Amino acid sequence: MYKTKQIIGAAGLIASLALGAHIALADDNMPHQSLHITEAGKVSLTGAKVVSIDGSNITAMISWGGATGFSGVIKTESSTEIIRREGGRGSFSEIVPGHYINVEGMLDMSAPKPTVIAKVVRDWSVMKSELNPFGVVSNIDTTAKTFMLKTQERGDIKVLVSDKTVFSKGGSMTTFSALKAGDLATVNGLWDRTANTLQADRVKIRMEDRRVFEGGRLKTAYAGSSVPASIVVTFGRLDYTVNVSSDTAVLNSKWAKTLLSNFRVGDHIRVYGAADGTTIDATVVRDVSLR
């Protein structure tokens, strides 16, 4: 078991606070505030409130009973991983004063005041994630470059289009002007849960609705651990490339969530999604052979 190390000076202040630092935030959806330091100087700080930003450094604080309990500097580097609340990769520019963050890192023993060199910073206040929803297009605004996407899973989402958004239809490239009310479409982009808007990277105008593909056999497995990813499944005499995104439901035979890496070659596979030729953008992928 790790021990809390009493460190002289500014770092010692952090260590002493770490002995009992654990309180709840008013927002139940935010993490509890806590500070833990191992004997080796490894720091785990959760629920800290961002006070200010100075270059690549963050000043953050946690408090007890309304009084400041810890205020220190979170030093980020090019190797620091920034993660959004939902787990997707974020950027330092998204972090602003008032946000709540978790930090994993090491004490900077040479700093004149409490400083943590961050390995990972998770911003709990950035409620954005990568989505790939399917729905029906409506309310197209060619001036503002927006449209509404009516989805079964998340209701009506406002889609924001930029000059960088890529449009395709039937396997060929097209433009925003080709989009019509009533079109079926799959949109890939960054979803802001708070505003319920989706900044589109890609828009696929669909020729067919989603459907169930049954009786498949996994031909090529996926050994990785992250998404987006692709697997090859044989349905009948044809091999289909099945695209799995961050919001695709990956399930076992009992409808429980599982990892794509648990699928094995030869397993019976069912897919629910929209196809373009022999490519399926999956909403659900289920391994019927996996218990």
pLDDT tens, 229-257? 999 999 999 999 999 998 899 999 999 99
Measured at the CA of 191, the angle between CA 105 and CA 163, to 5 degrees, comes to 110
**Secondary-structure breakdown of the chain: helix, strand, coil percentages, each rounded to the nearest 5:** 5, 55, 40
- The fourth-level CATH superfamily of domain 129-206 is Nucleic acid-binding proteins (2.40.50.140)
Quote the CATH superfamily of domain 211-287: Nucleic acid-binding proteins (2.40.50.140)
pTM: 0.65
pLDDT (average), residues 179-200: 93
pLDDT-based confidence at residue 5 (cuts at 50, 70, 90): very low
Spatial separation of the C-alpha atoms in residues 44 and 102, rounded to whole Å = 8
For residue 70, is pLDDT > 80? Answer: no
Q: How far apart are CA 264 and CA 221, in angstroms?
A: 6
Stretch 19-43: mean pLDDT: 68
pLDDT beyond 90 at 134? yes
Q: Is the pLDDT of residue 17 over 80?
A: no
Q: What is the pLDDT of residue 86?
A: 75
CATH class, range 10-126? mainly beta
What pLDDT is stored for residue 62 in this prediction? 87
